[in-house]
Each structure stands twice: as C-alpha cells, then as structure tokens.
Structure 1
C-alpha cells in the first residue's frame, strides 16, 4: 500500500507484472476493490482484472459511465466481482450476472463467488463485522480478518478445486507455504469523504511483514 509515482493521489497495492491493483483509494474520494470468481474450468481472460480498479481510481468519469464501459468490456477478463464507490454511493458488478447494482445501506459480504454467497467464512465475517459496527476502528476490522479457523468438511462449498484446497480456502485468513493471504486491509470512509486505511502484509505461513496506515 503506497502512493503511485505516476498518480500520487492513488494509494493502493500494485501488481508488479500487469501494473493494476485489487484495492485502493484516490484523493478524489473514490475507492474500489476486486475479487476473482473461483472457476478452475474457465480459461484466464485476455486482460488483467487489476486494470479495472486502476482505471477507476485514476479516472474522473462519472461512476455510471465507468460501469457502462465495464459491462461492455467485461468478457475480456477472467471472472470477477468489482466494488466501486465514494462516500455517497457503492456499486457492485458481478461478471457472471453482467449487471451493475447500486447497494442500499447495509452489511454485505463478498468472497470469490456472488455477493453474499453463504460460504462459511463469509457468514462468519459478516457476523463479526456486525459486532464492531458501532465503533468501527481499523484494528477491530483487521482482527476479524485474522481468523484462520477452517470450516468443517460438511460445510465446504464445491467449487471444483478438491477437498484439500476447499479446506485451505475456507478460512477468512489463509496461511500456507505457497498460497495465502498476502494483505489484510481495513478501509473506513466517513460521510465527509475522509478515509482511514490500514493494511497489514504477510509472507509464507502468514508471517507478519509490516503495517501501513494512511489518512486522506
């Protein structure tokens, strides 16, 4: 998490291969996040999904115009969910459904399927989020993202990756030698547009590498 040299108003991580990002904020009040849709049988897209977030954060076109362009180009990418918004509105786009929806105020959960798909870790995270909403401090949000408890076999979804991988992926925080949670980020957006962002980064087996805090 850092300002981008060519766009200092953008604070986000960076895909070193394709140059995009998965979550970030801009000084113009915008924020965006992206998750992939887990589907091992679908070939990868021609373009990097991180470009979708980068274009929103660096651009200034209205949200509805931006999303219309995303809808038109969505099949150029692998499966994805996209969240874009500001202090006044939040939109969700799911590539499989090919439509953008403005979300009403409430508590939502998003993993690697559709919005509010009732995977065990999503239900657990939403319940934990409800408990801290009265005083949503970054450290409390990061604490709920640190839950490494896997789900029982009987509750696992079947996304085509096999039982061992389904188990590994069933925890909120994923830790192993070669695959796992790379970063946990808490983003709080105030009604006046002020944003508070704290990110923790991790290495193999969930080893803590550092923490960055930004206020905009």
Structure 2
C-alpha cells in the first residue's frame, strides 16, 4: 500500500492578533492535500456571504471569511489511524461559523457538545472582536490573547519545528499589516525539513514525518495546495491566495472588500 494513502489533509496556520491596532488580524496559512482531490479556488460562494475555497469532495472549506468581519480556519489532528468516514465533514464547521449570528464564544460553547460528530480537529474563529480556538479532542475552547500564535496538526502552539519557524518569522516582521504580501508568502514557502531529532512522534512513518515537517510540502502525490494571506483592518479586508498542483504554481488571486 502507498505510504501516503492513509494521510489526512494537513494545514499550517499562524496569526498576529492585535485587536486595538489598525490591522487587528493577520493570518498566513497553508493547506496541504492530495493533488487529485477536487477543489475550487477561493471565491465568493453563490447564495452565501462566504469567501473561501471549496472542497468538492465533501463540500466544506478549510479557511474562509465573511463580509461582516468573520473568519474561520480548521486543521485536523494528526493520528496514525485512518479517519472515520461515517462522521461529518470538518470543513462544514468553517462555513457554519461564517454564516452564524452568535459570538465566537457562544459558537464554540455549543460546538463542544457535538464535537465528537467529527474526526479530531482544531478550529480558529473570529468575529473581528474576539479570536478564539477550540481543540476538539479535549473539548477545550479558549480566548486567544494578543500576539503571535500558530496551530498545525496538534494542539495549539505545540512547538513543532515548522510552527516555531513560522511564528518566529511573523514575530520578527516589523509590521505584518503593511509589509508586501510576498514577504509573508515567503514564510509559507519554506521547504526545509526538520532534523530527525526535532521531529514530532505522531505515530506515522519516519519518511512522512520528515516530509510533513516542512512548511511547504511537495511530494509526487501530496503537498501544499494553497497558501493564503489575510489582512483584516478596521474598515475592510485583503486576501491573497496562491495555488499549487503537482507541477508547481497554478495561479494567484486577490480579494479586497
């Protein structure tokens, strides 16, 4: 059996949250997936106030925004077991929050009671006033304090090498809210793999741990499919998405609203 066939989607998300600043939220994120999985690029969804890419297999998304200032992004929790196919798609939680009318705190509180309907996940949500996270395995919802943070496929701020590099890069950028977005994309394009002694032990094969330790993943069948930069200001939002396939760059989009 191909060693990659049991692998779930991976993601890497980092943010700078400064609610009192002119640019309260800056997010940089990678979505990793099989190249063969059908996906639509980021777009405004017909009949819904949602700006997001779309997974055509399950119908949800991994990162999205709404005109009201709402933001949501999700990662899976990496385990050696295959996901349970009978459970609901985690991607629906992104779109569900974007269309909700409640606060992040209210949404996560209600979601906690049904989090077992989904394979393990981490969810990051904001309404422009609060930024919150939820770790479904422990049913832990929490307010995210101002500053720089990140999440990948373990608990929030687990010190995996690629999280450490990305948060360090973001923290050392003098003004992520004003810098050219190409600078932020460079952080997401790092292909260096961690040394073996720095790798996490998540129960998967060493070959895969090495490949997944890079911020930007590229293997023959599986890799980073989209890199996204989000900047939310007090009056609007700018979003950039770069897409990739097995052959390399596959396009770039920009949205401003």
- Of the candidates 73, 76, 84, which is equivalent to residue 125 of structure 2? 84
1:20-76 superposed Cα distances (whole Å, 9 cap, x missing partner)? 111000011100000000012264261000010010112222322211221011001
Gaps of 5+ in 1: none
Q: Structure 1-normalised TM-score?
A: 0.94
Where do 4+ consecutive residues of structure 1 move more than 6 Å? none
- Of the candidates 63, 69, 75, which is equivalent to residue 35 of structure 1? 75
Q: Secondary structure of the residue that 1:13 maps to in structure 2?
A: strand
- Asked if residue 119 in structure 1 is aligned to residue 160 in structure 2, the reply is yes
- Asked if residue 149 in structure 1 is aligned to residue 189 in structure 2, the reply is no
Q: Structure 2-normalised TM-score?
A: 0.80
1:5-28 superposed Cα distances (whole Å, 9 cap, x missing partner)? 121x21000010221111000011
Rounded Cα–Cα distance in structure 2 between residues aligned with 1:17 and 1:64: 30
Rounded Cα–Cα distance in structure 2 between residues aligned with 1:63 and 1:212: 28
1:131-178 superposed Cα distances (whole Å, 9 cap, x missing partner)? 224243322211100001111111111111110000000000001111
- Of the candidates 162, 182, 189, which is equivalent to residue 232 of structure 2? 189
Residue 21 of structure 1 corresponds to which residue in structure 2? 61
More helix by share: 1
Rounded Cα–Cα distance in structure 2 between residues aligned with 1:116 and 1:185: 19
Q: In structure 2, do the counterparts of structure 1 residues 182 and 65 end up closer, same or farther at CA, with 3 Å as the change threshold?
A: same
Rounded Cα–Cα distance in structure 1 between residues aligned with 2:210 and 2:80: 16
- Asked if residue 161 in structure 1 is aligned to residue 204 in structure 2, the reply is yes
Rounded Cα–Cα distance in structure 2 between residues aligned with 1:17 and 1:110: 24
Aligned pair count?
A: 213
Using CA pairs under 8 Å that are at least 6 residues apart, name the structure with larger relative contact order, 1 or 2: 2
Gaps of 5+ in 2: 1-41
Q: Secondary structure of the residue that 1:108 maps to in structure 2?
A: strand
1:80-118 superposed Cα distances (whole Å, 9 cap, x missing partner)? 000000322100000122021011101101110011101
Rounded Cα–Cα distance in structure 1 between residues aligned with 2:75 and 2:147: 20
Q: Name the Cα RMSD after superposition.
A: 1.4
On the 8 A contact 2:170/2:176 being kept in 1, the answer is: no
